[in-house]
Chains A and B, each alone.
Chain A
């Protein structure tokens, strides 16, 4: 028997958890951690199953995906015949995502046991929704066609909405949740349009299998297809918080840190990347789209990184870095696809993107969760009130250091390998389009910035003198349920990169059209990497960044204030803190433009349209009152009217009668 046969069960278990905890658990789990055990158990089960399935897929990976689907809607007859399927589509990419999602998810739920302990009543809601999220996220990963993917895509959005607004009595949380939903909704609309294009273009079939095998069967020409893929990418932009739809993610930090770790770092925001990677066979047909993707990715990477430079909120910094890292992935995928269009041998981009996706999931989850541990300890997210915590939170500080090194891209930590690949892909693009010079530069600078702000974060938090004595006194190391997951993640954050040496690329790439992975052993790859000058460039960038951070926040050799003192510096840092005015811009559009038009419409409705109706009726009644006054009550006036009437009728008869 094969595990894949049972893959459809993977999303079911967490769903069961959701139903049980959410609807049956009312008083059942009052003093049972709000049903946490069930959530954990079910997630764990699906973890085991997905590991099995993934292992199977990766080892026996011949490149042909495992597909299993049942007809959801069948419409035939007339000129409209189409079928929507619900099913699972398992190839190596799916396997990768399965591992990432279910693994991180499991650790996060376990971690929550400690982190959410004080929440009391609300816990049940938390565990219910997070189980639902895990379920639908796994469903998204397993989806076998675009429509199904879109359905789960929307549902993860819902869960994100619910969890960002978990502390819904906080106005800030409520509005952040709304913002997240609306901004991603804009992306979703583009996604829908993309779906329409594909649906019509492929004669009502949205199955991956069909589309990937018959890309040429698309009706409507390449321009239309380009438009369609662009729209699909639009969806990704929304979900993965890319420029210009990035602004919801920092606000999303209003949710519990566990949620930020799971949804807004490790899994959901990856859906966009996954979408692009998934629809690669279609996308590569449209190099223009790929170029756009690469550019948006590259720009977002640096754009978001800048905002992380001077932010003092520990979670916000991580949020910006998430945006920036996602940019990396899009840069890689875009570049790879763009090059592929000209030279169908090139697969570094695709590998880099997906590889970085995996690594980032691990180290970013790690970073968030350790940040959570810190917050849990000092009950604040403001780094200005931290400092010197490494004495109190030994484990946390250690694992977080690993995370920082990893994201900064210091060999041999995992981040290094994937980021290096990303930059390589971007660089490779130069020979096809000079725009990639810029993008490569972006990538390099981003690497520098990343290293800088991550270590700025670390130093501010753990090193130096405690800046808030009171908080420091009460700070204490997280309980085992929290640090054990951290430790596990730390191991991965350190080690997951080595997958590269042991054939990540060659296992992942097959099945994607006619990619021909160059089979290579670890040694060759190692030499390949370390004989490449680019590698040293990126390492240098990282080291520089760390060094600067060290000088500024550890040694205090360079006073940070210097950068903000000058008028230029001041305005610059304010601009950064104001997120380049995007927040204001969104509010302005929402409140002034949209709400303004709404008010106008309302006015038209009440005054003009309804006014007309009421006016008519009022006029009729008034004329009635007027006419009745003619009825004076004097009989002779009636007689007079009669006589007049007779003469009028004579005249009328004469006029219309056509007599004589």
Chain B
């Protein structure tokens, strides 16, 4: 079977990619997607460890996490749409009314 390290490496890479996406992308939706990427990286960990330890906690955790992530995305998208309605843009480097 595939050693656990591989899964970890994969999740790590995904996590970092997601993080970089959050930091660099200007489009709010893309940023949201990057966040999802990070969440899924965590999920991969859960599943991998779950099978590694042979208990189901991890798997359950992963499932719940996915559900929650979905909800989060829904809320997030709604909010971004609202942003677009009020400001006609969703690029994050144009919204800084609130500062200092």
Please indicate whether A and B come from the same complex rather than being unrelated chains: yes
Name A residues whose Cβ lies closer than 8 Å to a Cβ of B.
Answer: 628-629, 631-636, 639-640, 643
Provide the residues of chain B in CB contact with A640, threshold 8 Å: 23
Provide the residues of chain A in CB contact with B93, threshold 8 Å: 634, 636
Provide the residues of chain B in CB contact with A635, threshold 8 Å: 92, 95
Name the CB-closest residue of B to A646.
B19
Interchain CA distance A628-B99 in the complex, whole Å: 8
Provide the residues of chain A in CB contact with B22, threshold 8 Å: 636, 639
Question: Are A633 and B92 in contact (CB-based, < 8 A)?
Answer: no
Question: Are B100 and A636 in contact (CB-based, < 8 A)?
Answer: no
Question: Are B96 and A636 in contact (CB-based, < 8 A)?
Answer: no
Question: Are A634 and B23 in contact (CB-based, < 8 A)?
Answer: no
Provide the residues of chain B in CB contact with A629, threshold 8 Å: 100
Interchain CA distance A634-B31 in the complex, whole Å: 13
Q: Verify if B98 is at the interface (C-beta below 8 Å from A).
A: yes
Interchain CA distance A629-B23 in the complex, whole Å: 20
Q: Verify if B1 is at the interface (C-beta below 8 Å from A).
A: no
A-B pairs, 4 with minimum CB distance: A633-B99, A633-B96, A628-B100, A639-B22
Interchain CA distance A628-B24 in the complex, whole Å: 23
Interchain CA distance A313-B92 in the complex, whole Å: 97
Q: Which chain B residues (84-100) contact chain A, with CB distance < 8 Å?
A: 92-93, 95-100
Interchain CA distance A629-B96 in the complex, whole Å: 13
Question: Are B100 and A643 in contact (CB-based, < 8 A)?
Answer: no
Question: Are B23 and A633 in contact (CB-based, < 8 A)?
Answer: no
Name the CB-closest residue of B to A643.
B19
Question: Are B23 and A632 in contact (CB-based, < 8 A)?
Answer: no
Provide the residues of chain A in CB contact with B95, threshold 8 Å: 633, 635
Nearest CB in chain B: distance from A596 CB, A: 50
Interchain CA distance A632-B23 in the complex, whole Å: 15
Name the CB-closest residue of A to B24.
A636
Q: Other than the known A629-B100, A634-B96, A635-B95, what 10 A-B pairs have Cβ atoms closer than 8 Å?
A: A628-B100, A632-B99, A633-B97, A633-B98, A633-B99, A634-B93, A636-B24, A639-B22, A643-B19, A643-B23
* Listed residue (A631, A632, A633) with the most chain B CB atoms within 10 angstroms of its CB: A633
Question: Are B92 and A636 in contact (CB-based, < 8 A)?
Answer: yes
Interchain CA distance A640-B93 in the complex, whole Å: 14
Provide the residues of chain B in CB contact with A631, threshold 8 Å: 99-100
Provide the residues of chain B in CB contact with A632, threshold 8 Å: 96, 99
Nearest CB in chain B: distance from A33 CB, A: 81
Chosen A-B contacts, 24 in total, with CB atoms closer than 8 Å, are A628-B100, A629-B100, A631-B99, A631-B100, A632-B99, A633-B95, A633-B96, A633-B97, A633-B98, A633-B99, A633-B100, A634-B93, A635-B92, A635-B95, A636-B22, A636-B23, A636-B24, A636-B31, A636-B92, A636-B93, A639-B23, A640-B23, A643-B19, A643-B23
Interchain CA distance A643-B16 in the complex, whole Å: 11
Nearest CB in chain A: distance from B82 CB, A: 15
Nearest CB in chain A: distance from B36 CB, A: 15
Q: Which chain B residues (69-85) contact chain A, with CB distance < 8 Å?
A: none
Provide the residues of chain B in CB contact with A643, threshold 8 Å: 19, 23
Nearest CB in chain A: distance from B50 CB, A: 25
Interchain CA distance A635-B27 in the complex, whole Å: 12
Digitize B1-39: 1 where CB-to-A-CB distance is under 8 Å, 0 elsewhere. 000000000000000000100111000000100000000
Interchain CA distance A31-B46 in the complex, whole Å: 112
Provide the residues of chain A in CB contact with B31, threshold 8 Å: 636
Interchain CA distance A635-B34 in the complex, whole Å: 14
Question: Are A634 and B100 in contact (CB-based, < 8 A)?
Answer: no
Provide the residues of chain A in CB contact with B24, threshold 8 Å: 636
Nearest CB in chain B: distance from A479 CB, A: 90
Provide the residues of chain A in CB contact with B96, threshold 8 Å: 632-634
Nearest CB in chain B: distance from A625 CB, A: 9
Digitize B34-75: 1 where CB-to-A-CB distance is under 8 Å, 0 elsewhere. 000000000000000000000000000000000000000000
Provide the residues of chain A in CB contact with B97, threshold 8 Å: 633
Nearest CB in chain A: distance from B46 CB, A: 20
Provide the residues of chain B in CB contact with A634, threshold 8 Å: 92-93, 96
Interchain CA distance A639-B18 in the complex, whole Å: 12
Nearest CB in chain B: distance from A628 CB, A: 5
Interchain CA distance A635-B95 in the complex, whole Å: 8
Provide the residues of chain A in CB contact with B19, threshold 8 Å: 643
Nearest CB in chain A: distance from B52 CB, A: 23
Provide the residues of chain A in CB contact with B23, threshold 8 Å: 636, 639-640, 643
Provide the residues of chain A in CB contact with B100, threshold 8 Å: 628-629, 631, 633
Name the CB-closest residue of A to B35.
A639
Interchain CA distance A633-B99 in the complex, whole Å: 4
Nearest CB in chain B: distance from A633 CB, A: 3
Nearest CB in chain A: distance from B84 CB, A: 15
Interchain CA distance A488-B39 in the complex, whole Å: 120
Name the CB-closest residue of B to A629.
B100
Interchain CA distance A635-B35 in the complex, whole Å: 14
Interchain CA distance A632-B92 in the complex, whole Å: 12
Interchain CA distance A639-B19 in the complex, whole Å: 9
Name the CB-closest residue of A to B25.
A636
Provide the residues of chain B in CB contact with A628, threshold 8 Å: 100
Nearest CB in chain B: distance from A372 CB, A: 83
Provide the residues of chain B in CB contact with A639, threshold 8 Å: 22-23
Nearest CB in chain B: distance from A647 CB, A: 11
Name the CB-closest residue of A to B31.
A636
Interchain CA distance A632-B19 in the complex, whole Å: 20
Interchain CA distance A632-B96 in the complex, whole Å: 7
Nearest CB in chain B: distance from A146 CB, A: 73
Provide the residues of chain B in CB contact with A633, threshold 8 Å: 95-100
Nearest CB in chain A: distance from B95 CB, A: 8
Interchain CA distance A635-B31 in the complex, whole Å: 11
Nearest CB in chain B: distance from A627 CB, A: 10
Interchain CA distance A643-B96 in the complex, whole Å: 20
Interchain CA distance A631-B92 in the complex, whole Å: 15
Name the CB-closest residue of A to B96.
A633
Nearest CB in chain B: distance from A80 CB, A: 65
Interchain CA distance A480-B22 in the complex, whole Å: 114
Name the CB-closest residue of B to A630.
B100
Name the CB-closest residue of A to B94.
A634
Interchain CA distance A278-B27 in the complex, whole Å: 104
Interchain CA distance A643-B95 in the complex, whole Å: 21
Nearest CB in chain B: distance from A354 CB, A: 88
Interchain CA distance A628-B98 in the complex, whole Å: 12
Provide the residues of chain A in CB contact with B98, threshold 8 Å: 633
Interchain CA distance A629-B100 in the complex, whole Å: 6
Interchain CA distance A629-B99 in the complex, whole Å: 8
Nearest CB in chain B: distance from A370 CB, A: 89
Nearest CB in chain B: distance from A649 CB, A: 15
Name the CB-closest residue of A to B99.
A633
Interchain CA distance A421-B99 in the complex, whole Å: 99
